[in-house]
A and B are shown apart, each in its own frame.
Chain A
Amino acid sequence: MEIVFLAFILMLSIFLGFELINKVPATLHTPLMSGSNAISGITLVGALTSAGAEHTVLATVLGTIAVAMATINVIGGYMVTDRMLAMFKKG
């Protein structure tokens, strides 16, 4: 049952993702790519539990590296997107 439930969520999210993006002006292509890239840093949430659950030493090491990498993705991604869009407004 759990898998069916998750599969439904997955399907609806995919359709929503398809529908969200349409007729984006060319100037916004890179910021949009960068902004959605920051969202894919959500894997940070998974990394947090890996790093903090104390399963094995290896899992903690992998989790900690994952937290650092995903945080770079999230913080860097949002900040870079904001910088791009700030420029865009002035121009």
Chain B
Amino acid sequence: MGIELLVNLSYVAAAVLFIFGLKMLGSPATARKGNLVSAVGMFIAVVITLLDQSIIDYKWIAVGIVAGGVVGAVIARSVAMTSMPEMVAMFNGFGGIASLLVGWAALYGFEANAFEMITIALSILIGGVTFTGSMIAYGKLSEKMPGRPLVFAGQRVFNILLILAIIASTVMFVLNPEQHLYLYLVVGLSALLGIMLVIPIGGADMPVVISLLNSYSGLAACAAGFAINNIILIVAGALVGASGIILTQIMCKAMNRSLSNVLFSGFTKVAAGG
């Protein structure tokens, strides 16, 4: 009980630091300090979680942290200043797939009730879309794939069918948690949706798309927080989800584009050929 209280109070402190950090990031004079404040919040949240009583074995945690830390640090240090936006896209994709995996792993911890099954499905769904969407955005910005909008005949119909298939498999997954076929369908179809959402959007609009995907990764973390009953995931995820939407709108305005115009190009512009 004592440790649980300490963990939760530390989560409150971390949330406060995230909020101040985000606020400070919005103004030039305080931005760098704000990033540091938010990093301290993250450090507190991670270290205090290691005290959690449900953690029995630290071996694999250490392996994951060391591997991820080295890769993240090497990429962050070596990337050229001009390639920053695509790096953000790549990191964002990794965050998305992490939320997907956290949701998936939550299937095995306890007997999930219907509400928890829905949140597990949502974290897998949003995490999957974030992952592949971010990777396509990365590919387009780094010119590893053509930056022009990729459109094909019947794209609109295909996307609508895809969304219907996702809804159907998500419902079946929630109703039949032990049937792994539906789980794999949700994973695969959400990954496909992420690709389909981003390929029809041109390279010039990618910063807006990355900002939106950043918002999605927050929502994925938030859903994962509901799935595993962790309040800091819910709070931090919702903060990123909401502030990301606002930032996306601000960026759209700065580029003289409308958000729906950018988003639904794959659904509406097919006839015009992009």
Q: List the interface of chain A (C-beta within 8 A of B).
A: 2-3, 6, 9-10, 13-18, 20-56, 58-60, 62-89
Contact = CB atoms under 8 A, between A and B. Distances in A.
B122 interface: no
Interface string B55-99: 111101101110111011101110101001101100110110111
A80 B64 contact: no
B265 interface: no
B65 A71 contact: yes
Contact of B241 (A14, A59, A80): A14
16 contacts: A14-B238, A17-B246, A31-B35, A35-B35, A36-B218, A40-B237, A41-B98, A43-B102, A46-B99, A47-B101, A48-B46, A59-B107, A62-B105, A68-B65, A70-B98, A71-B65
Interface stretch (B23-31, B142-150, B166-174): B23-31
Contacts of A33: 88, 207, 210-211, 214, 244, 247
A89 B34 CA distance: 14
B234 A75 contact: no
A13 B242 contact: yes
Interface in B34-60: 34-36, 38-39, 42, 45-46, 49-50, 52, 54-58, 60
A40 B233 CA distance: 8
Contacts of B222: 10
B259 interface: no
Contacts of B182: none
Contacts, number: 343
B60 A47 contact: no
A59 B54 CA distance: 13
Interface stretch (B154-162, B189-197, B224-232, B266-274): B224-232
Residue in A24, A37, A59, A68 whose Cβ sees the most chain B Cβ within 10 Å:
A37
Contacts of A85: 31-32, 35
A19 B61 CA distance: 36
Residue in A36, A81, A85 whose Cβ sees the most chain B Cβ within 10 Å:
A36
